[in-house]
Chains A and B, each alone.
Chain A
Amino acid sequence: DQQVKQNSPSLSVQEGRISILNCDYTNSMFDYFLWYKKYPAEGPTFLISISSIKDKNEDGRFTVFLNKSAKHLSLHIVPSQPGDSAVYFCAAESGGYQKVTFGIGTKLQVIP
């Protein structure tokens, strides 16, 4: 049973445009959400996070939105750059640092 779902396996966007990556979750106990970025043959790297008490968090070109009632979050990248081409994992956790549940990832391709 996938508790964190990324239903779009891939996404192509023109350079300079907005990239929107979506994530849905089923476990209402999740209270912290994270996005990780992964390049081929490398480990994931932390990108941005959001607590369940917020509905938006911004860091430069990256913004994460959380809609708790819909159990949905999204990552916006504006403007998209070719270096953003990677796999993006949505992740969620509850009650501390013990366990993090990851989605299967969305592969983003930014076309120059």
Chain B
Amino acid sequence: NAGVTQTPKFRILKIGQSMTLQCAQDMNHNYMYWYRQDPGMGLKLIYYSVGAGITDKGEVPNGYNVSRSTTEDFPLRLELAAPSQTSVYFCASRMKETQYFGPGTRLLVL
């Protein structure tokens, strides 16, 4: 099993550009999450999904969108990138009490 994979590893965006952060898991987990981690801060929940076709907002959803058309994939969309979205983004899936995290995507918005 590859676990949770994220692409790209690193990306530089210009203000106003858009991009999709990809996340996939091969463990057949229903629950999936997107977090961001800013320097010196904990992980903040952006969006989560309890299964294909079902998503809901987390703590910091503004400026982001998600979709969940399959159990495996949970992409995160940034429509109009802003410097405040510079962060490291982690995707996770969950089985019971354990979340399994991907390696993260480092995003720099200039």
Nearest CB in chain A to that of B104: its residue: A43
Give chain B's interface residue range (CB within 8 Å of chain A).
20 to 34
A-B contact count (CB 8 A): 52
Binds B, one of A11-19, A64-72, A98-106: A98-106
Residues of B within 8 A of A36 (CB): 99
Question: Is A4 in the interface zone, CB < 8 Å from B?
Answer: yes
Report which A residues bind B (CB closer than 8 A): 4, 9, 32, 34, 36, 41-46, 49, 89, 97-105
Residues of B within 8 A of A4 (CB): 42
Question: Is B4 in the interface zone, CB < 8 Å from A?
Answer: yes
Q: List 9 A-B contacts (CB under 8 A).
A: A41-B103, A43-B101, A43-B102, A44-B90, A99-B45, A100-B45, A100-B99, A102-B42, A104-B41
Interface SS of chain B: strand
A57 to chain B, nearest CB (A): 11
Partner among B48, B50, B101 whose Cβ is within 8 Å of the Cβ of A45: B101
